[in-house]
Structure 1
Amino acid sequence: MDGPEPIEAAQAGELVVLDMARVARAAHELGVLLEVNAQPERLDLNDAPIRLAREAGARLVVVTDAHAVAQLGLMRHGVDRARRGWCAAADIANTAALAEFLERIGKRRRAASAAPGGGRGRAGRDARRAPRRREARRLARQLHRSGGRRRGSSDAGWRRDGDESMPFRDRADAGRQLATRLTAYAGREDVTLLALPRGGVPVGFEIAKILRVPLDVVIARRLVAPINHQMTIGAVASGGVRVVDEELCRALAVSDRTVQWIADAEAREVERLERVYYGCHRAPPDVRDRTVLLVDDGVATGASMRAAVTAVEQGRPAAIVIAIPVASYAACAELSRRAREFVYCYIRDPVYSVGLWYESYAPVSEQEVCRLLREAHELSASPREPPAPGAP
């Protein structure tokens, strides 16, 4: 296909087969966010298609197969329902199955277009998104006034001003930036910082070091959809906690039996990680009557953080403060209900992939997590020096 045909076919929800050059043209004309191999941490942000996509505004998601040459689907998304139309060609057995999947997406899209405020193009899309955006912001403002406080910088347009730099160099940099917003908790004897491994531990380590508070972990695992391991349908956490997105499971036709099987497997992994992480430095922390800072490297759907909050609540803490470098409006609105305070550096809707906010988003190993926990424990066990004048 050449010319505008791939664009029109993509807008209609039909199967499109393109090579990388055509992907670049589609990215430029439609404004797409390209994720190669469905591995956000492996994205080359200087690659021409991705650069064009970012310059165009990143309005759609394109996921290619392992070789990025064929069986490519272009799909429109709602602001807080992006994951529902998100499909990697490598996860589909054949072209016919992919075409069938896209046909279902196309039917829902055409039905939405026929509804009031629907229609193709940017105007119709913005009309459909506007109520969800207004609702998310309304909830966030309401929670802010009612005690579910938020603190941060709503710098959602940082990419649109021509600045090609990422907000965070790496997770350590994100932790240092986040620590500047948590100085009220510095040096307090009643504060414990719990990070979500693995990515949240390097962030939490920097915060714990700057604030001079103890660092530990609360373990949560995502439940991923069978059709695509990038779709989060829930999470499990320590203490037998289980959180499931029932609405998304129904939309993806994931049965209760399948959810149970996935959750049981991840629960066993949580138990294994408890032996690894708690065994490498000390027993699980006692958070009763303490203020708990819950930290991760970013929140898109918020499923893992919701499970972590539930797990921490079982320990009866005095208060929970959630601290996140980057989060979506929807996650901010929902998680603010569960915490005394929701602290963030950047907020944006939607957050397709947390890794896109970091210049370096390298995987964190279990060995690295254990090393940071041991080092943090040694720092907290050493005698505390009085802070220097002007220090946080």
Structure 2
Amino acid sequence: MDGANGSGFDVDHLPYGVVADPDRDGDAARTAVRIGPYALDLAEAAATRPSGAPEFAALLDAPTLNPLMGAGREAWTQLRTWLAEGLTDPDVQHSWEPLLRPVEELDARLPFEVADYVDFYASEHHASNVGRILRPGAEPLLPNWRHLPVGYHGRSGTVVVSGTGVRRPCGQRRSRDADTPVFGPSARLDLEAEVGFVVGTASRLEEPVPASAFTDHVFGVVLLNDWSARDIQAWEYVPLGPFLGKSFATSVAAWVTPLEALDHARVPLPPRDVELLPYLQVEDPAGYDLTLEVEIGGAVVARPPYRTMHWSPAQMMAHLTVNGASMRTGDLFASGTVSGPERDERGCLLELSWGGHEPWLLHGEERTFLRVGDEVVLRATAPGALGPITLAEVSGTILPAHADPYVLDHHVRDRHVRDSGDPGKSHGRDS
């Protein structure tokens, strides 16, 4: 197909998304597959005669990918085969041409309804760097790190689609030389270049999912930016871990790369020096050869290699469910920051600036953390059957913090007092 052959979105990729065409359907969201610079309406393609696939109609005629994701591996493979055959058949291409829309003319939506969100800490280089920054002179990795994939539960309700602005969060933070915290906008706002894995097939409560069943349950992959307020995080994380410093926003790409599209990107995991418990043992190749790129303000500042990750997604999934926790269609679990051994392979600014002490250069200016107006774009490529495939990018621009919520509350309280005429009835925060 014109524009697709040799691109990162050829028939060996075929990522899925949800889009709206304002000129045709207004605000209505429809499932689509991307081929080159175009999006193909999946529901309409399935209904097209004689090249359609009515058996998929109910899964595809939806404003979200969840029905398709929940249908399971056999349905995913059949759909992918049907699409690839149709997009390489001249007769079918002709019948589908009216269903193609330029991607740049469409509004991208969050492609799936997020059920639960878990973020891991799977890069040894990232974990070691953070350990050296936060605990200088001590062992960089804590004793449990090499024995299990460390993670935390995030907030699914603040997962947003690529292109959504990210508001600088407010919270408590304490400087090193202060005894008490202050409240205000984060001064150490960071990005985290990550890879997210989208669960399709659910699992049952109390039934652990083995690592060998990874491809049966995981539908696809998205690039993910787990925005982090490092100063809020540093004050709050002891002893229970990340909370408000992480939960304000997580951005994901608008197009989900099917797991099958990454079959040619499989690579062995790095060597390890600890014998794992049986449920975490996997057969290689269990890793993925993805090369990420971090761009800020139009300049590339890092290229993290996912092939260096210590823990594979199959191990993350096995650990996630080993206690009997169930997975639901739409669950999202992420790798944690992807970092390599070199400075220009560090996937977050905490590492790149070494805790704010070693500025990095952006357009000739020394920088440490993100500023209002910074646009962050994450990209990635991987080997594919027909050449390199391009994962859909994830972007976000930093917006100013809201005014101090205490000020807002007092303003709201005063307005309600004026409106009610009763100084005893306040709907704001108590003074």
Is the TM value for this pair above 0.5? Answer: no
Higher relative contact order (CA 8 A, sep 6+): 2
User: What TM-score does the superposition give when structure 1 sets the normalisation length?
Assistant: 0.27
Larger Rg: 2
Indicate the structure with greater strand content: 2
The structure where helix makes up a greater share of residues is 1
